[in-house]
Amino acid sequence: MSSKLRFKVVSEAFAKKPVEVPAPAERPSEFFGKYVFNKQKMFKYLPKKVYDKMCDVMDNGAPLDREIADQVAAGMKKWAMELGVTHCTHWFQPLTDTTAEKHDAFVDHDGKGGMIEEFEGKSLVQQEPDASSFPSGGIRSTFEARGYSAWDPTSPVFVIGDTLMIPTVFISYTGEALDYKTPLLKALSAVNKAATDVCKYFYTDVKKVITNLGWEQEYFLVDEGLYSARPDLLLTGRTLMGHSSAKDQQMDDHYFGSIPERVAEFMKDLEIQALELGIPCKTRHNEVAPNQFELAPIFEEANLAIDHNMLIMGLMRKIARKHGFRCLLHEKPFAGINGSGKHNNWSLSTDTGILLHNPGKTPEENLRFVTFIVETLMGVYKHNGLLKASIMSATNAHRLGAHEAPPAIVSSFLGKQLTDLLNHLEETEEDALITLDGKHGMKMDIPSIPEIMIDNTDRNRTSPFAFTGNRFEFRAVGSEANCASAMIALNAAVAEALVSFKERVDALIAQGVAQNSAILKVLRDDIKTCKPIRFDGNGYSDEWVVEAGKRGLDVEKSCPIIFDRYLDKQSVEMFEKLNIMTEKELEARNEIKWETYTKKVQIEARIFGDLAINHIIPIATRYQSALIDNVHKVKDIFGEEAIGLSEENMKLIREISMRTKTITAKVQEMIEARKCANRITCERTKAIAYHDTVEPFLNEIREEIDKLEMIIDDEIWPLPKYREILFIR
């Protein structure tokens, strides 16, 4: 970019006016879910018998037969056509971090040379997209390209523009999952079964346990013009170079600050469209870094919440452009300031309305509360390495362990009260605990029980898995990620822990131990076992890394090696036993993870080389020539005196020479490292080579470039700078 162009782009960005969004005529309660074929619409558009059947399918997982599907499709078509819909698509989540869709028109031949609007049950229920270009990790070779998408009736159909969107799973011809949703639904079903069985100890009427998820989506907005002038942002989603701005987040004046007008209009537009699609948006605010914001809805059932998160990420990207912005969902778009995450607030609740991670008022309820807390910790403890793998990616790796976001070690913060309670339970004599047989109205011999008030304000920002009053907050999830990955691992781990818990309690009961005593005995063992996962200290400190290692927690930092955790014996056993994924599927997924990792670093390295050699070096050289020219001219005029007068310029000339030389040499070395890595055929080894031998160059070269940015004439610097990109007016 020429100097003039950069100046133009920057001044245009600063002068931009907000695109005003008119207030909707109705209240949110009236337009909420306007474009969703929810139960309300089903009731209106389907015959009563079909409606009842659909409720059974959605609420209880009953099978959907063809005749019913045809009638549902007919009702859906009628509703959709009233909204001007002309096309439909299956909407699924392949293993690419985005969603996929292929639109088909609602038309067919009428047999008389004309066309009719047609939409049958079979198009609703199943489609066969030729999907050979989606990642499959070798499960499906390109000549066997068939993949099936099948309707997930637990997530309602919705309309975007002229298209009816049908949420589906995506599986291969041989039945293996090629998406996130399939194993997610299986993991949710596993935790439902395991938790319902455990619930029976406390409440006999519970038929179902639901997983709740409330995500908090962080993101950056940047001006579209400035974005387009940064090839690195455009192609990788992050800035690969850029000196920090003199002022960024050090004054803490952005967090919860007043929202800039241009951004407020974007948020309003986004919220209206999200509410119309049934996404219950609730909270919005400025985040810590300049230009960083957050959006959070009210929590929902996890499968729906994940679909909604995928949907809103798409909406954010689309609506941002309408407002002259680009929305950055990358975990670390800018070095030196906070990155973006997606806290996953997670809890379990029953069909009878009990929040299982919420303390109650009676000893019985609190025994249930402690049970679900401890068994959650057991799952997280046993599979802490896997949980880390579930949130790891080439992009999130920039955030984890970088002293500002959750560290690259999974541990759990419980707060003082709950810690005291667990410590007390662990230490209490068995006899004393027998008095817990609460049925006879006896008081528990435990302080804080029967009534526990968990203080919501007791918080620890450094913990990746923190208890926050009535839920756990899994904070290590990346802003760009599909939450399903984390939710599959977490729910599987908790399901496994609950199954094991029940087996041991039942064995004791069979030996004649009273139920509550048996529960307490197993809990006491488990509290001891999972103690290493509990950590309330500073997760960013170096001491914690040492301490966590001693405790046997996973402290690995290399992204491609962390992926190995998926193939550990205990992970494979868990996923297979719970019928969530087979070893073959896990292996295939890991191939994709390694390949994706390699490709991302490869793309960054290529762009980096291009920017360094074709953008930065020529400008540095040009500036250096101007300085040399100046030195000559000063000498012409002042003769011997000039040596003193040009001292500063001479220093700059030397510095530019040194830095450009280093940059050129390192770019060459980086290219060689890439060539070497590219010859490796094993995806895992190749990813490790990219991590160990290619990626380090990015930081090394960047340092040199960022220093050049500080000494070269601002007028000719080719890229918009952090201070220009990061402050929306």
Q: One-letter amino acid identity for 341?
A: G
DSSP secondary structure code for residue 694 in this structure: I
* Binding status of residue 216 toward ligand ADP by CB under 6 A: yes
Question: The tokens of 359 are what?
Answer: 């303390």
- Which option in Mg ion, ligand ADP, none does residue 135 bind, with CB closer than 5 to 8 A by kind? none
* Binding status of residue 211 toward ligand ADP by CB under 6 A: no
DSSP secondary structure code for residue 534 in this structure: B
Q: One-letter amino acid identity for 125?
A: V
- Smallest gap, in angstroms, from Cβ of residue 598 to Mg ion? 33
Cβ proximity to ligand ADP: between 214 and 242 the closer is: 214
Residues 6+ apart with CB under 8 A from 657: 624
Q: One-letter amino acid identity for 513?
A: V
Helices 695-711 and 583-610: angle between axes, nearest 10 degrees: 30
Residues 6+ apart with CB under 8 A from 58: 39, 153, 154
By CB under 6 A, name the one of 121, 214, 290, 539 that touches ligand ADP. 214
| Secondary structure (3-state) at 88 | strand
By CB under 6 A, name the one of 296, 315, 418, 701 that touches ligand ADP. 296
- Which option in Mg ion, ligand ADP, none does residue 299 bind, with CB closer than 5 to 8 A by kind? ligand ADP
* Binding status of residue 471 toward ligand ADP by CB under 6 A: yes
Cβ proximity to ligand ADP: between 287 and 496 the closer is: 287
- Smallest gap, in angstroms, from Cβ of residue 467 to ligand ADP? 11
Cβ proximity to ligand ADP: between 216 and 496 the closer is: 216
**Are 270 and 318 contacting, i.e. CB atoms less than 8 angstroms apart?**
no
Binding mask 320-359 for ligand ADP (x = CB under 6 A): -------------------------xxx-------x----
Cβ proximity to ligand ADP: between 300 and 604 the closer is: 300
* Binding status of residue 406 toward ligand ADP by CB under 6 A: no
Binding mask 264-283 for ligand ADP (x = CB under 6 A): -------------------x
- Which option in Mg ion, ligand ADP, none does residue 115 bind, with CB closer than 5 to 8 A by kind? none
- Smallest gap, in angstroms, from Cβ of residue 354 to ligand ADP? 11
- Which option in Mg ion, ligand ADP, none does residue 563 bind, with CB closer than 5 to 8 A by kind? none
| Secondary structure (3-state) at 71 | helix
Helices 416-427 and 515-529: angle between axes, nearest 10 degrees: 110
Cβ proximity to ligand ADP: between 168 and 345 the closer is: 345
**Are 324 and 16 contacting, i.e. CB atoms less than 8 angstroms apart?**
yes
**Are 465 and 473 contacting, i.e. CB atoms less than 8 angstroms apart?**
yes
* Binding status of residue 212 toward ligand ADP by CB under 6 A: yes
Q: One-letter amino acid identity for 65?
A: D
- Smallest gap, in angstroms, from Cβ of residue 274 to ligand ADP? 13
- Smallest gap, in angstroms, from Cβ of residue 625 to Mg ion? 53
- Smallest gap, in angstroms, from Cβ of residue 272 to ligand ADP? 19
Determine the size of the site formed for Mg ion (CB under 5 A): 1
- Which option in ligand ADP, Mg ion, none does residue 129 bind, with CB closer than 5 to 8 A by kind? none
Q: What is the DSSP string of 10-57?
A: HHHHHHPPP---PPPSS-HHHHTTTTB--HHHHHHHS-HHHHHHHHHH
**Are 366 and 436 contacting, i.e. CB atoms less than 8 angstroms apart?**
no
Cβ proximity to Mg ion: between 343 and 388 the closer is: 343
- Near ligand ADP by CB under 6 A, which window of 211-219, 318-326, 531-539, 546-554? 211-219
Q: Based on the number of CB atoms within 10 Å of its own CB, is 27 exposed (0-12), middle (13-18) or buried (19 or more)?
A: exposed
Cβ proximity to ligand ADP: between 355 and 642 the closer is: 355
According to DSSP, the residues that pair with 109 across neighbouring strands are 115
- Near ligand ADP by CB under 6 A, which window of 64-72, 166-174, 296-304, 435-443? 296-304
**Are 688 and 564 contacting, i.e. CB atoms less than 8 angstroms apart?**
no
Cβ proximity to Mg ion: between 343 and 399 the closer is: 343
Distances (CA, A) of 84 to 69, 81, 311, 638, 664: 22, 5, 21, 80, 58
- Smallest gap, in angstroms, from Cβ of residue 345 to ligand ADP? 3
Determine the size of the site formed for ligand ADP (CB under 6 A): 14
- Smallest gap, in angstroms, from Cβ of residue 282 to ligand ADP? 7
Rg (CA), the chain: 29
Instruction: Restricting to residues 331-350, name those near Mg ion by CB under 5 A.
Output: 343
According to DSSP, the residues that pair with 157 across neighbouring strands are none
Instruction: Restricting to residues 56-115, name those near ligand ADP by CB under 6 A.
Output: none
By CB under 6 A, name the one of 298, 507, 643, 645 that touches ligand ADP. 298
- Near ligand ADP by CB under 6 A, which window of 4-12, 210-218, 259-267, 594-602? 210-218
E strand map for 68-178: 87-92, 100-105, 107-109, 115-117, 126-127, 147-151, 158-160, 163-172
- Which option in ligand ADP, Mg ion, none does residue 298 bind, with CB closer than 5 to 8 A by kind? ligand ADP
Cβ proximity to ligand ADP: between 163 and 345 the closer is: 345
- Smallest gap, in angstroms, from Cβ of residue 417 to ligand ADP? 17
- Smallest gap, in angstroms, from Cβ of residue 216 to Mg ion? 5
Pick from 103, 72, 75: which is nearest to 89 by CA?
Answer: 103
Q: One-letter amino acid identity for 348?
A: L
Q: What is the DSSP string of 304-355?
A: HHHHHHHHHHHHHHHHHHHTTEEEE--S-SSTTS---BEEEEEEEEETTS-B
Q: How far apart are CA 587 and CA 581, in angstroms?
A: 10
- Which option in ligand ADP, Mg ion, none does residue 283 bind, with CB closer than 5 to 8 A by kind? ligand ADP
- Smallest gap, in angstroms, from Cβ of residue 219 to ligand ADP? 15
Q: Which residues bind Mg ion (CB under 5 A)?
A: 343
Q: Which residues bind ligand ADP (CB under 6 A)?
A: 212, 214, 216, 283, 296-299, 345-347, 355, 470-471
